[in-house]
């Protein structure tokens, strides 16, 4: 009990990322998979389900993508803050950069929210790409521990960061392509294949995230 109470504010803040993933993202992923299965059964007329099932599946997918996006941004900002406190404890040096990074993260969320509203395919593709590139730009900051940026290095495939941004990109792409997935069989098949990779990446995230927590 005493060790838990002795955690610093930064350590509590650091727990927000895994707590959000465990208590929100993973349960919603399970519900999304179940709704996707039911949507397929309705489309193939295997089960006479209401028309709201595919809509609910898509809405849950948006929540998963948004939840992962927010969790990633929280983890990034924790790294920025930790580096700032270490470099200038109690000082104001670097505050401007910290504010700029916070605004960039806010802008990334705004881009995602805008993605949910637009209907034109080109606009959705552009906003989805912009959202993912914003994540990559924020993750490219020196405060972020990526292990390595070389895909030919074994550490690249053990990196919690790289599997996380790839996961985010796949989820954002699914949100951006939602109307096309609903209309075209080829896109639905691609959606299924992509989400098999999403499931693998979620498992990788759980393993590497636990490793990082234990090593901290």
Q: How far apart are CA 152 and CA 17, in angstroms?
A: 28
pLDDT of residue 87: 78
Prediction pTM value: 0.92
Cβ 166 vs Cβ 160: under 8 Å: no
Q: How far apart are CA 132 and CA 158, in angstroms?
A: 21
pLDDT of residue 119: 93
Q: How far apart are CA 35 and CA 42, in angstroms?
A: 10
pLDDT of residue 4: 52
- Rg of the chain on CA atoms, in Å: 19
Nearest-5° Cα angle at 141, 158 to 199 = 35
pLDDT of residue 93: 65
Per-residue pLDDT of the chain (216 residues; tens, 9 = 90+): 445 568 888 889 999 999 999 999 999 999 999 999 999 999 888 988 898 999 999 999 999 999 999 999 999 999 999 988 887 655 666 788 899 999 999 999 999 999 999 999 999 999 999 999 999 999 999 999 999 999 999 999 999 999 999 999 999 999 999 999 999 999 999 999 999 999 999 999 999 999 998 887
């Amino acid at each position: 009990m005493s060790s838990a109470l002795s955690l610093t504010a930064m350590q509590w803040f650091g727990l927000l990322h895994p707590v959000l993933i465990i208590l929100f993202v993973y349960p919603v992923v399970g519900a999304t998979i179940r709704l996707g299965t039911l949507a397929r059964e309705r489309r193939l007329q295997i089960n006479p389900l209401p028309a709201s099932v595919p809509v609910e599946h898509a809405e849950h997918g948006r929540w998963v993508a948004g939840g992962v996006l927010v969790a990633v941004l929280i983890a990034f900002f924790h790294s920025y803050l930790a580096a700032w406190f270490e470099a200038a404890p109690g000082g104001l040096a670097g505050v401007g950069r910290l504010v700029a990074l916070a605004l960039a993260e806010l802008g990334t969320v705004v881009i995602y929210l805008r993605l949910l509203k637009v209907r034109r395919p080109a606009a959705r593709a552009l906003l989805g790409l912009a959202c993912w590139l914003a994540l990559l730009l924020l993750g490219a900051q020196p405060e972020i521990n990526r292990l390595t940026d070389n895909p030919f290095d074994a550490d690249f495939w053990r990196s919690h960061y790289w599997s996380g941004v790839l996961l985010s990109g796949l989820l954002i792409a699914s949100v951006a392509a939602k109307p096309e997935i609903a209309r075209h069989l080829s896109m639905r098949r691609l959606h299924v294949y992509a989400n098999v990779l999403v499931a693998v990446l979620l498992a990788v995230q759980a393993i590497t995230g636990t490793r990082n927590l234990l090593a901290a």
